[in-house]
Amino acid sequence: MQTLPALPRRYHRSLATVALTGLLLLPAARAADPEVTLVIRGHKFEPTELKVPANQRIKLIVHNQDTTPEEFESKRMKSEKVVPAGAKVTIWLGPLKPGRYEFVGEYHEASAKGVVIAE
């Protein structure tokens, strides 16, 4: 196997340290994060357009009112999460740059579509 270019060993350690302390220092959920709610009904999202502030982390609550599970998926927002029937789940999004971010319900892609608009 080809090895990576030799880095001085001290870098290996500091890289791991940086990664670990990064994990510890980064803030967990803050109270100030804006919250938006999305409902799934009849394999459709309501509303289909969600306006959220840009450059801020968003707490998205998805409430699946159908009797079947759905998977919230957005390639652009790097989000993928199953929402069981009747469940209410939290999905962290962003911070997003201003723009449009499409999402779908993967299990019913034909009807379950929507877009997050960050501005």
Residues that bind other proteins (CB under 8 A): 1, 3-4, 7, 9, 11-12, 15-16, 18-19, 22-23, 26-29, 57, 59, 61, 67-71, 75-97, 106-107, 109
Q: Minimum CB separation from other proteins for residue 114, in Å?
A: 17
Supply angle C-alpha 115, 117, 119, rounded to 5: 175
The DSSP letter of residue 68 is: S
Give the DSSP H or E segment for 26. Answer: none
d(CA 109, CA 20): 38
**Least separation in angstroms between CB 48 and other proteins:** 21
Q: What's the closest the beta carbon of residue 82 comes to other proteins, in angstroms? A: 6
